[in-house]
Amino acid sequence: MVSRIMKRGAALVLAVFAFFSCDRPFSLDLDLAVDAHDYSIGSKAGQARIFFYTNKPWTLSLEPAGCSWGSVDKTSGNGKADVEEILFTYEQNTDVDRDATIVIKAGSKQERIRIFQPGVAKEWWDGSTTIDDLEIKPVS
């Protein structure tokens, strides 16, 4: 009898706790975390959205410095949004494979995100937009 009352009491306490805990807003409490450490983009020009999480002011840099084929839309933030989003804009790659690294620093933490873009060798490129459309030209 006592154990039955205790079970019902425990179930009631859990139900009340679950009901009232639903009103509490959710917030991430992370110094710095990234969605992925490696991104692979297409060889055509375009944009990639990159997400990371922080509750601290942050800065961002692109390596190699002076990367001529890609850029980011912002290089710093206050960390008040929890989920941060940057836009990496890149040019078409008509040459060999290439990569760049986005370095994010927040507080004492640092994360590196590698962006890989496949290429098409210039002497074989015939203006096609995908490797599937590529026509190999004989060397004269």
Range of the domain at 109: 33-122
Whether residue 111 lies inside any domain: the answer is yes
User: At 82, phi and psi to the nearest 5?
Assistant: 65, -70
Q: How many residues does the chain have?
A: 140
Whether residue 47 lies inside any domain: the answer is: yes
Q: Span 97-111, mean pLDDT?
A: 94
Per-residue pLDDT of 59-95, as tens digits, reads 999 999 888 999 999 999 998 877 899 999 999 998 8
Do the Cβ atoms of 121 and 96 come closer than 8 Å?
A: yes
Q: Quick check: is 7 in a domain?
A: no
| Count of domains forming the chain | 1
23 in a domain, yes or no?
no
Measured CA to CA, the distance from residue 69 to residue 139 in angstroms comes to: 28
Name the pTM for this structure. 0.66
Answer whether 35's CB lies under 8 Å from 50's CB: yes
